[in-house]
Structure formats: C-alpha cells, structure tokens
Amino acid sequence: MIKVNIKKEENIITYIRIKGHARYEEYGKDIVCAGVSSALQTTVNAILSFDKNAIEYVESNNFYLKNIKKDNITNKLLDNLVNTLTEIESNYKKNIQIKEE
C-alpha cells in the first residue's frame, strides 16, 4: 500500500511524505503507482518552473517534499496534488491511504 502523510500548518502544506508500493499489479504495470508518480512528478516540475528554491525534496524508495517558501502558488500546486491523490484513493482504497498529521 502507498502511504501518504501530509502536514499542514494554518492551511499551508509544510511537507508531504509518500512511501510504499500500491501492489495493484506487478512492478512496471501498476496503474496506481503510475498515477501517483505522474501526479507527483508533474507537481514538482511545475513548482520548480516557478521557483527552484520553493521546495526541497528527496526521491529514493520513499519521497519527501518540504515546502520552503510556503507561497500561494506552491501551496495551490501542492493542494492540487493532494486533491489528485485523494481522487486516486477514492477509487483504489486498498492500494493508497492518505493521512493528514
């Protein structure tokens, strides 16, 4: 299962942590993992296109993103990511779980 942890302070996302594998299908054929990865990569690229110093992130077996600037554009893009992940979760409850800390 993919586990997504989100931390907010005063309606601003301060960090997002994503770990695990959806196990919907085997590696390389998993549409849930592909959807999460695509949404994540699109969001990171969009934020960095506005401001390369707005976020810090580490991408390995787990993914960790820290919102440095906490500006309006970055937060809206991160909110959009969370909305996308929530939509995926609503269709694949056995494969992804989102928790707000």
Q: How far apart are CA 77 and CA 28, in angstroms?
A: 27
Residues in the chain: 101
User: Among the options 2, 13, 18, 33, which is catalytic?
Assistant: 33
21 is catalytic: yes
How far, in Å, are 4, 53, 70, 91 from residue 88 at the CA level?
12, 29, 25, 5
58 is catalytic: no
Q: H-helix or E-strand containing 2?
A: strand 2-9
User: Among the options 7, 21, 66, 69, which is catalytic?
Assistant: 21
For residue 6, the cross-strand partners are 16, 100
Q: Which residues are catalytic?
A: 21, 33
